[in-house]
Amino acid sequence: MGYFVEVEKGVKLFIHDLNPAGKTTIVFIHGWPLSHKQFEYQFNVLPQYGVRCIGLDWRGFGKSDKPYFGYDFDRLADDLRVVIDQLGLRNVILLGHSTGGAIAVRYMSRHQGQGVSGLVLVDAAVPTGIPPETANSIIDQTLNDRPNMLIDLTNQFFFQYATRAFQQWFVDLGLEASGWSTAAIMKLLSEADLHADLSSITVPTLILHGIHDQVIPFSQAEALQKQLPTSQLIPLLYSGHGGFWEERERFNRVVLEWLGLVQQE
């Protein structure tokens, strides 16, 4: 089911809540510039294993409200805290992709991991984001020809072949966002520095990262794993930045194994 949660006066986030009776809860935090819909291929499978899947759209993206201001990691982490508190969530897993991983890390630092028992960081933009020169080019494209920027992004995003129809679906997800929020988050990524946040993470952490990732290089995941003593790194051998789709069967299996919901093969 879908509903809205007001995170501050006049700003509501859209929440996709699948299998509310599930005994294990994962909160899915999408990447830039997408929405909760990017996790369709997890939502298709994980509820069968007793997982409650909660996907939220950040402010400015998907079906959520799109204020002109409020696009920094503290505000995005605070939005997540309101959702967790209002839904009364406890012992949840935060699964964050790319920028969503950075939001999850800031949440753990800023809110002392309230209600969270584990992290799954997927191609995470942690502890740094996008080089400023790359970000500036993307911002310029966003403010002048956003559809074409999203087509270029799609070509860079995936290692495996994606059909024309799938590529169009992916572009359409990005077009649900506003132009100003799309540009603001890219500027945020160009300035990202979450090194100081990592010491706050003491919960078990699963790192999934495509070895062919052209957006956040695999070497960054290797460095991240060394900084998180409670983490496990699983390389996705046939993925770029989109392992949640490119290796969806293995991706889902690894998450379920890590949660202890299926036996390891």
Contact present, 102 and 126 (Cβ < 8 Å):
yes
- The pLDDT of residue 10 is 95
The residues that bridge with 14 in the sheet, in sequence order, are 4
Contact present, 183 and 142 (Cβ < 8 Å):
yes
The total of other beta-carbon atoms located within 10 Å of residue 17's CB is: 15
- The pLDDT of residue 265 is 74
Task: Measure the CA–CA gap between 90 and 195, rounded to whole angstroms.
Answer: 26
Task: Measure the CA–CA gap between 141 and 207, rounded to whole angstroms.
Answer: 31
Task: Measure the CA–CA gap between 25 and 3, rounded to whole angstroms.
Answer: 17
pLDDT, mean of each 10-residue run, the chain (265 residues): 96 98 98 98 98 98 98 98 98 98 98 98 97 97 98 96 97 98 98 97 98 97 96 98 98 98 88
* Angle at alpha carbon of residue 108, lines to 232 and 19, rounded to 5°: 80
In sequence order, what are the residues at sequence separation of 6 or more whose Cβ sits closer than 8 angstroms to the Cβ of residue 260? none
Tokens representing 15 are: 């929440």
pTM of the model: 0.98
Contact present, 11 and 65 (Cβ < 8 Å):
yes
- Which regions of 158-237 does DSSP assign to beta strands (E)? 205-210, 231-236
Tokens representing 114 are: 């309230």
Contact present, 136 and 190 (Cβ < 8 Å):
yes
Crossing angle of helices 132-144/146-157, nearest 10°?
140
In sequence order, what are the residues at sequence separation of 6 or more whose Cβ sits closer than 8 angstroms to the Cβ of residue 150? 33, 170, 171, 174, 175
Task: Measure the CA–CA gap between 37 and 60, rounded to whole angstroms.
Answer: 15
CATH 3.40.50.1820 fits 2-129+193-259, yes or no: yes
Give the 3-state secondary structure of residue 157: helix
- The pLDDT of residue 1 is 86
Active site residue ranges: 98, 213, 241
